[in-house]
Amino acid sequence: GSGSFLLHQTDSEKTLADRVDSQDSQVSDMDPNERSWPRQNSLSLREWDIPFDELQIEETIGVGRFGVVYKGNWHGSVAIKMLNMDDMDDKKTLETFKQEVANFRKTRHENLVLFMGACMKPPRLAIVTSLCKGMTLYKHIHVRKEKFNLSRTIRIAQQVCQGMGYLHAREILHKDLKTKNIFYENGKVVITDFGLFSVTKLCQGNRKGDWLTIPKGWLCYLAPEVIRSLKAGNQPDDTDLPFSTASDVYAFGTVWYELLYGEWPFHGQPPEGIIWQVGKGMKQPLTNIQASQDVKDILMACWAYKPVERPHFGNIQSTLLKLPKKRLARSPSHPIHLSRSAES
């Protein structure tokens, strides 16, 4: 497509969390008489089934990687994420979807979007969550060009860490942490779309044959090890993308960068250039950046080349707590200078 970059993807992608829950979802697929798992398990997944007819679908909110997101009503205002599956009859596709749903329903945290249920009868596959009010951090930062002072930036980052730390404690990887998936309203952060990444690549519009389109602004969230495996992905029998808690932490580093500087790292560079640099362990230079060393240290720690060297969300939170909150992170007179080196 226009300006997009194509890479090969593999079909199977399993995380620890996927495996943990695959038991439940297998159960629900079986005939009740054939079932070997305890009945209770199956019921617990069914509880989250929403009959499609019960949903009142209202206006379109937007189109994303999964398909169309609608505002709707189901016992109150909800967001309905309709999934456009490539191949509805494909058992594996449905299985992946059910696994993601099984993951999703385990989450209860203030900083995570509320999962309400899912429509699980093909071809009507949809995920229903609470409707986030307010705007995404992406809108605040990149569209409205808002500048948060350092104390607000820290409060936002702390809530992101809280939600992410919780997900990791539940053995759920986000895999798609980005400012477009973080809502911010009245001082409160709500993270969305965790654990849905495996579904996205099964959706229409993302694929051209066996190739996946890389959406603009996505690469800068990908850790070197993930980028490197995209590069290596030209072989047909490629292995899974190595997402991990550490790759989520890398993505958080990019969010922290955007919060501080109002721009994406490697802004304006072509995908090939970003892939090459990140894969080689190069980072967005911070030399021109007006920020205290401890603020930059967080960035460098999250962006560490080796996954094992990246901190956990708990560590980041304690570091954030110790930061002095007074200074402005971005000088209004130098808001975008840091990206100059990347653009030239």
List interacting residues with Mg ion (CB under 5 A).
181, 193
Task: Count, in order, helices (H) and strands (E) of the chain.
Answer: 12, 11
Catalytic-residue membership of 297: no
Given the complex with ligand ADP, which of 194 and 256 has the nearer CB atom? 194
DSSP 258-280: HHHHSS-TTTT--HHHHHHHHHT
Residue 1 as a binder of ligand ADP (CB under 6 A): the answer is no
CB of 252 to Mg ion, least distance (A): 16
CA distance 330 to 69: 34
Residue 129 as a binder of ligand ADP (CB under 6 A): the answer is yes
Residue 107 as a binder of ligand ADP (CB under 6 A): the answer is no
Residue type, 311: P
Query: Applying CB under 6 A, which of residues 25, 50, 55, 66 lies at the interface with ligand ADP?
Result: 66
First-to-last C-alpha distance (Å) of the chain? 25
* Greatest Cα-to-Cα distance within the chain, rounded to the nearest angstrom: 70
Number of residue whose CB is nearest ligand ADP: 64
Show the site string, 193-222: x = touches ligand ADP by CB under 6 A, - = not.
x-----------------------------
**Complete edge-to-edge strand list for the sheet that includes strand 5-8:** 5-8, 211-214, 207-208
**Of 18, 24, 176, 248, catalytic:** 176
Residue 79 as a binder of ligand ADP (CB under 6 A): the answer is yes
The closest alpha carbon to 301, from 241, 261, 252, 265, belongs to 252
Residue 286 as a binder of ligand ADP (CB under 6 A): the answer is no
Query: Applying CB under 6 A, which of residues 28, 93, 103, 192 lies at the interface with ligand ADP?
Result: 192
- 78 Cβ contact partners less than 8 Å away, ≥ 6 residues apart: 55, 71, 72, 116, 128, 129, 130, 131
DSSP state of 176: -
CB of 85 to ligand ADP, least distance (A): 14
CA dihedral for 227, 281, 166, 65, sign (positive or negative):
negative
CB of 54 to ligand ADP, least distance (A): 18
- Are the C-beta atoms of 240 and 10 separated by less than 8 Å? yes
Given the complex with ligand ADP, which of 119 and 131 has the nearer CB atom? 131
Which of Mg ion, ligand ADP, none does 132 bind, CB closer than 5 to 8 A by kind? ligand ADP
Interface contacts to ligand ADP, rule CB under 6 A: 61-62, 64-66, 69, 79, 113, 129, 131-132, 136, 180-181, 192-193
Which residues are tagged catalytic? 176
